[in-house]
Amino acid sequence: MSGEITLLVNPAAGRGNADGAALRAARVLRGAGFLVRGVVGEDARDAVRRARAAVAGGTGALIAVGGDGIVSLALQAVAGTGTPLGIVPAGTGNDTARACGLPLGDPDAAGEVAAAALKAGTTRALDLGRVGESWFASVLASGFDSRVNDRGNRMRHPRGRLRYDLAMVAELAGLRTVPYRMRLDDGPWREIDATLIAVGNGPSYGGGMRICAGARLDDGLFDITVVGEVDRRTLLRVFPRVYRGTHLGHPAVSVFRAARVTLEAPGVTGYADGEPLGRLPLTAECVRGAVRLLAAPAPGPAGD
């Protein structure tokens, strides 16, 4: 494995704390004997271009420093390549890192996890979702939650999770069901009136909202959470339960499992890992073992 490691940094993540996190993680990696090169893109497209160039150039690993947004950009460069991915969580959401059990709020500890895995040559195989040429690690959102995401992205204040909570309250004024058509694997089409449909490779989005609480990153399947017709009062009452995953027991909520799902609905934009994918229809495929995470192997067949 190459001794040069590339840090892909989003300096704006974590309210501007990612630069400091990158310096701390780099110090740990250099102390472990690795050469560390930092990459900061001028924008998302440039960041992916630079990350892909580093992978093509033979970097020993690509380590994303920031939140789920920068992890998503890193995935576009490493998925399917064999180049391992490291994560130093330094954002406000950190859902992918949380699902992987990586240290949150401690760049030194996250750097030590990556350095130990590099030294030992151990990685953990993780599934990814794929829509066309785009990869995602956590959740593909559609319907009410994607509208909340869209509104939250347009808001300048406040920062962090509170922004999306306020965006949700604003979107409640236009709460409505969407006429979906959904197909799981090669099964029949289902016509569903739903408030939202979330396709989970991992369990959470939005900084710990466990919308697909049972989803695992190493089982080759999505968990698909369908929230049917609910009124505003019910949604507000059930919403706090999403942080514990207990919303899945509500009568309006159904869960399906599949390796491939196609969603059709008029006027709905899909978001994956918080990034827009485009209007439905979209087909998502769960690709088993698509990325190698710098971490101790998981017990059982999911590890190396």
Q: What does each C-alpha distance from 186 to 182, 261, 266 come to in angstroms?
A: 11, 9, 22
What would the 3-class secondary structure string for the chain be?
CCCEEEEEECCCHHHHCHHHHHHHHHHHHHHCCCEEEEECCCCHHHHHHHHHHHHHCCCCCEEEEECHHHHHHHHHHHCCCCCCEEEEECCCCCHHHHHCCCCCCCHHHHHHHHHHHHHHCCCEEEEEEEECCEEECCEEEEEHHHHHHHHHHHCCCCCCHHHHHHHHHHHHHHCCCEEEEEEECCCCEEEEEECEEEEECCCCECCCECCCCCCCCCCCCEEEEEECCCCHHHHHHHHHHHHCCHHHHCCCEEEEEECEEEEECCCCEEEECCEEEEECCEEEEEEEEEEEECCCCCCHHHEC
Comparing 114-118, 183-187, 195-199, 229-233, which segment has the lowest mean pLDDT? 229-233
**pLDDT at res. 54:** 96
CATH assignment, 4-122: 3.40.50.10330
Q: Given pLDDT bands bounded at 50, 70 and 90, which one contains residue 11? A: low
How far apart are alpha carbons 195 and 264 in whole angstroms?
Answer: 14
Structure confidence at residue 44 as a pLDDT band (50, 70, 90): confident
Q: Which residue has the tokens 């890193």?
A: 74
Could you tell me which residue, 98 or 13, shows the higher pLDDT?
Answer: 98
Residue 41 buriedness (CB in 10 A; 0-12 / 13-18 / 19+): middle
Sorted by where each begins, the domain ranges of the chain are: 4-122, 136-289
Task: Tell which wins on pLDDT, 167 or 228.
Answer: 228
Q: Which residue has the higher pLDDT, 19 or 99?
A: 99
Residue 230 · residue 239 · CB < 8 Å? no
pLDDT, tens only, 279-291: 999 999 999 999 9
Provide the pLDDT for residue 148: 80
Which residue in the block uniquely carries the two structure tokens 């990696």? Answer: 29
Which region among 132-136, 144-148, 292-296 has the lowest average model confidence (pLDDT)?
144-148
State the pLDDT at residue 14: 45
Whether 4-122 and 136-289 share one fold: the answer is no
Q: CA 42, CA 173: separation in Å to the nearest integer? A: 37
Mean pLDDT lowest for which of 55-69, 149-163, 219-233? 149-163
Q: What is the mean pLDDT of the chain?
A: 90
Instruction: Choose which CATH entry (3.10.129.10, 3.30.465.10, 2.60.200.40, 2.102.10.10) describes domain 136-289.
Output: 2.60.200.40
Q: What is the per-residue pLDDT for 300?
A: 55
Q: Which two tokens stand for residue 36?
A: 């560390």
Q: If pLDDT is split at 50, 70 and 90, which confidence band does 304 have? A: very low
